[in-house]
Structure 1
Amino acid sequence: MREEIPATTPYDRLRAARPELFGNSPGGIDILFDPADVEEARRTADTGAQNTGAESSGTADAGTESTAAEGATAPVGVVYADRFVTLVRDAVRFPGGAPGLYVRMLSTVASPGAVVLPLTPAGEVVLVEHYRHATRSWHWEVPRGMGAPGATGAENAVRELAEEIGADATELISLGHMHPDSGLIADRVELFAARIDGFGSPETSEGIRRIVPRPWPEVAEMVATGEIACGFTIAVITRALLNGLLGKGLPADGLPETGLPGSGLPVNTAEGTGEKH
C-alpha cells in the first residue's frame, strides 16, 4: 500500500510524486522522516559530531555533510529547484548508527535522460564537438540530453538525434541504463545505439560546432588517449562494443602506444542483441 504523504512542502510533494527516490533498504543509509529524528540529524551536523567514516577535512562522498559550518545553516528538504535540476538535502542515519545530512541532485523531470550512439551504414561513429559550460571546455561526445516530461528513454533518444545532428534513426537499439554519479546524482540515464543514414548541420545554438563521422579504430584510440573524456560517451561506446555493435576493423595487435584494455576482448558479434524500438 502506497504511503499517504501530506503535500505541504516541496519535499513532501517530491516524496509523493517520486516515492522510489525515498525508499530505505536493509543495511543502507536510511532517510529520516520523523521530525524528532530530522532535528537530531541537524543538531549532529551543527556540532560537527557526525561520523561517517569521512576524512576529518573532507567527505566520504560528494553529498555527505560533516562539518559544523555546513550543518549550522543547512535546511533539510528541497534546497534548490529549477526546470532542469533539483537539489535535495536529506536527514539520514548511516549504517553505523550516526545521524547526519546528505545532499543529492536529481533531474526535475522524472523522465529518464538518454544517450545515443549514432552509427552510419559504413560503421562509423558520429561524434559532436560540444562546448560544456561546467568544464569551460570543448568535448567530443555523442548526442545526449535530459528527459522531456512524459517521454520514454527511446523517445528522448530520437529527439536528441534530431535536435543535435538532424538525424532520424532507422533502427534504435537499447543498451540498458547507467547512473552517472551514484554518490551524488539520483538519475537513471538510458543508453542507445542508433543506425542512421545521414545527418544534418550542427545545432550551434546548443554549443555544437562540428559533427564528425569517425571510423571505430579512431574512436577507440580517442577513448584510450583521453581525447574522449565524456563519461556518458565512454559508457555508451563500451556497452555497444560489448554487445557486438563495434570493433570491426580494429587492428589485431590493438592500438599503437595506447595500451587500450579490451582491444582484444571477445565480444558478442551478433548485432542487435539489445531491445529494439
Structure 2
Amino acid sequence: MTATLHVSERTTDTTDRRVLRRRLGPGRRIRFSFWIGPIVLLAVWAAGSATGLIKPAILTAPWDVVTAFQEQWTDHDLLGNILSSLARAALGLGLGVLAGAVLAVVSGLSRAGESLIDGPIQIKRSVPTLALIPLFIAWFGIGQEMKIVTIALISMVPIYVHTHNGLRGIDGRYAELAETIGIGRGEFVRHVVLPGALPGFLLGMRFAVTSSLLGLVVVEQYNATSGVGHMITLAEQYGQTDVIVVGLVIYGVFGYLADTAVRLTERRALAWRRTLDT
C-alpha cells in the first residue's frame, strides 16, 4: 500500500512538472535552444551560396562576408564604428526607457497623471517617430543630438504602453487586501504595484530594444561620420555589397543579443511567478 502511494505521488509530481513546463515554456535543459534558429538560418544561407541557388549579386556568401569583416576590422576601424553605434543606441535607449517608465508610473498611479499624459502618448503612437526626423533636424541640427533624441523617442513608447498596461492590469483585490491589513500607499506601491507591473515593463523592453535599433539604422544615414550606418552608406556609394551585408549582420547581432539579454533577465526577475504556480 505504501509503495503504491509513493508511485502515485511520483506520478502526480511528474504530471505537475509537465503541466508547469507547458505553462511556463521550455525547461532548463533546453535553455539555449533559441540559438538553433540562427544556426539553421546560417546553414541554409551557406548551403544556398555553395550550391549557387543564392547568387552573389543577390546575397553575398557567408565566407565573403567574413573576409569583408576582417578587412573592415583591420583597415577601416570597424571596432570604432561598432562602438560608436553602440554608444548612440545605448544612450538613446536609456533615455527612452527612463522617460517611458516614469511617465507610465505617473500615469498609471494617478488619474490626473493619466489625464495629462496618456492622451499625448496615444497621439504620438499614431505618428511614426521616423516621420519626425525632418522636424528634429530643424530643432537639434543634424548632429548627435538629433540621433539620440530620435532613438529615445522611438523606444519610449513601447516602454510606456506595456508598463502602463501592467500597472492598470493589477488585480484590485490586492488594494482591498492592503487596506484591510493596513499597508500604507507607498509600501503598497513598492511591494505590490511595481513588481506586478514588471512583466509588462520587460515586455516593453523587448520592443524598445528592437525599436531603438530600427531608429539607429535610420539616423545613421544622416550625416554620420562614424558608426555602422556610416560604413553602410560608404559601401553603398562604392557598390560594396559584401560590406553592406557585414553592416546588416552586425545590426542583426546587436538586436539578437540585446533581446536575449532581456529574455534572460525576464526569466530571472520573474522566477517568483513559477513558485506561485507550483
TM-score range, shorter chain: under 0.3
Q: Which has the higher contact order (CA 8 A, sep 6+)?
A: 2
Q: Kindly indicate which of the two structures has a greater share of residues assigned to strand.
A: 1
The TM-score, its normalising length taken from structure 2, stands at: 0.19
Q: Kindly indicate which of the two structures has a greater share of residues assigned to helix.
A: 2
The TM-score, its normalising length taken from structure 1, stands at: 0.19
Query: Radius of gyration: which is bigger?
Result: 2
